[in-house]
Structure 1
Amino acid sequence: MPLAVIDPNEPFQDDYRRVIQELIPALESGLGNNLHSIYLYGSVARKCAVPGKSNLDIIIVTRRKPDARFQTLLSTIKWRFRKAFPFITELSFQFSLVQEILAIESVITWGFLLKHCCVCVSGDDLSSRYGEFEPSWEIAKFWNMDVAQWLKRYRKIIAQSTNREEQVKHQIVIAKKLLRSSYSLVMHKDKGWYDDPITCGQRFLDYYPDKTVEIERLGILLSGRYIPKRSVIGVLDSYGSWLVKAYEKTEFRIG
């Protein structure tokens, strides 16, 4: 069964509509004829963003690599929009060239991302070049096989955090990654794709009910509550190690 796509005709949330309406012409003006298309992804694209908690994630596709002047403009845009719309936690930009996205080796990467995780808000929608994707281990492992690297990085960041606010921010990031990676482990069996980390954890438990305590702990980390650093590290070391080994076993079995 093909995976669901985001309805491009569903209106954006009121809080974010004005932001998008102002951001698009600013980017179009700055890039001129070098711009091919603009996409939103993440919670804003799915119309489930939470003001004060959600980033605004943007993908910009160009015909040529943007010059240094646009990087300066981008910094100005970020500063201006953060000041005008303080409920946006961060403006996150990714760039790619048209030819990179349309390359055959980009099918599982850019093809899947644009087709099932994005909404085109300006220009020629490249997702139309791809058919619908079905759940597979190839997709799952590409997007989450790097969980070992994430664990190593965020374990170190959290261990070195100097204040509660900084630690909570990073524990939320790694909790999201672990919950989504947990579902990706069973995605090829469950035949779905979910971005919401809580849903990912719940669907994962259909196959690994013995991991209920661990998933509940990740939910607590995701909630934004401050948890003593030692306890956070304990979750990453115990459940994280199990998850990495589970990926290795599945890859060995399926390949």
Structure 2
Amino acid sequence: MNGRGLDHDGTIAREGSLERVPAAFVPVVDAARARIAAAFGPDRLHSAYLYGSVPRGTAVPGVSDLDLLLALHEEPTGTDRAAAEAIEAALGRAFPQIDGAGILLFGTRTLLSDLERHDLGFFVACLCTPLLGTDLAGRLPRYRPTSLLARETNGDLALALPRWRARAAAASADGERRVLCRGVARRLVRSGFTLVMPRWGGWTSDLGESAALFGRYYPQRAEQMRTAAAAGRSPSAVPEALGMLIDDLGPWLAAAYTAAHGEKAPRPQP
């Protein structure tokens, strides 16, 4: 892999591996593997994956969370979601080195669909690390840092803005605002990076590097993006911090994104 996150053929390299899991998180990963296998079983579970800072080797004990994706043979049911929530809660209680656990559930048909080829498919193939089962990456293409990938990963940013504003208006506690600030900031930094990704010609998931690369191309917004990257790591409960993200940087970024890459293909409404 070169310094821009690419393999020798110019495709985006898979960014994590089980070998990179920090020692403090190995017991958490082992427990997650065992609990998932016991709760879902081979008839229900096709494969399971880690993603985020733990398989990238950058997780910080007591700060980082454990992120997992489960690919099911069929589309997830309410029973599946309840089982996933029970695992999340059990891992959070048992391991103080994680700031909670989160499990995404999808059917393999969705993950391998043409509609998700350059969004969830890319996510599994490049940003997820196999934990259980047969890796779906073998049934997905190799990806390059193209405008198509930019459009399909983050070309729906404008749709998120009204939801964020509604959540910000309804938030009554500092904890709620911090959770929202963290999620909004991370989404904006990742969108800022993928906005410039085709021009830069590589891939990174590091928030600081993403903000710095964005700033090369949009210096007038560089300071705001650096602030967003900091908030993605240490979120603020101050309403003004959320306001800058949701009412200033966010709308500008959504418009610039649509102008550069177009809008993401519409998804069916749940």
Instruction: Tell me if both proteins adopt one fold, taking TM over 0.5 as the criterion.
Output: yes
1:159 alignment partner AA = A
- Assess if the C-alpha contact under 8 Å between 2:14 and 2:125 holds in 1: yes
Greater gyration radius = 1
Q: Write the deviation string for residues 48-101 of structure 1: whole angstroms up to 9, x where unpaired.
A: 122233221111122234565554443432232211113322322222223333
3-state DSSP of counterpart to 2:261:
helix
Report the CA distance shift for 1:69/1:211 in structure 2 as closer, same or farther (over 3 A).
Answer: closer
Query: CA offset at residue 159 of structure 1?
Result: 3.3
In structure 2, the partner of 1:177 is: 187
How far, CA to CA, are the matches of 2:173 and 2:248 in structure 1?
24
Structure 1: which 5+ runs fail to align?
none
Structure 2: which 5+ runs fail to align?
1-9, 266-270
Query: CA offset at residue 167 of structure 1?
Result: 1.6
- Assess if the C-alpha contact under 8 Å between 1:37 and 1:60 holds in 2: yes
1:134 to 118, 134, 144: 144
Query: CA offset at residue 154 of structure 1?
Result: 2.0
Structure 1 stretches of 4+ moved >6 Å: none
In structure 2, the partner of 1:210 is: 220
- Assess if the C-alpha contact under 8 Å between 2:145 and 2:203 holds in 1: yes
2:52 alignment partner AA = G
Does 2:53 align with 1:32? no
Matches within 5 A, 1:218-233: 218-224=228-234, 226=236, 228-233=238-243
50-59 or 168-177: bigger deviation: 50-59
In structure 2, the partner of 1:117 is: 127
3-state DSSP of counterpart to 1:108:
coil
2:84 to 74, 81, 84: 74
In structure 1, the partner of 2:255 is: 245
3-state DSSP of counterpart to 1:135:
coil
3-state DSSP of counterpart to 2:118:
helix
83-92 or 183-192: bigger deviation: 83-92
- Assess if the C-alpha contact under 8 Å between 2:182 and 2:235 holds in 1: no
164-173 or 202-211: bigger deviation: 164-173
Query: CA offset at residue 36 of structure 1?
Result: 1.4
- Assess if the C-alpha contact under 8 Å between 1:41 and 1:58 holds in 2: yes
How far, CA to CA, are the matches of 1:67 and 1:143 in structure 2?
25
- Assess if the C-alpha contact under 8 Å between 1:159 and 1:229 holds in 2: no
Report the CA distance shift for 1:8/1:128 in structure 2 as closer, same or farther (over 3 A).
Answer: farther
1:22 to 9, 31, 34: 31
Instruction: Indicate the percent of aligned positions where both proteins have the same amino acid.
Output: 26
3-state DSSP of counterpart to 1:44:
helix
71-80 or 190-199: bigger deviation: 71-80
Does 2:39 align with 1:60? no
**Two-structure CA RMSD over aligned residues (Å):** 2.5
165-174 or 70-79: bigger deviation: 70-79
2:168 alignment partner AA = I
3-state DSSP of counterpart to 2:56:
coil
Report the CA distance shift for 1:9/1:87 in structure 2 as closer, same or farther (over 3 A).
Answer: closer
**TM-score, scaled relative to structure 2:** 0.83
What count of residue pairs does the alignment treat as equivalent? 254
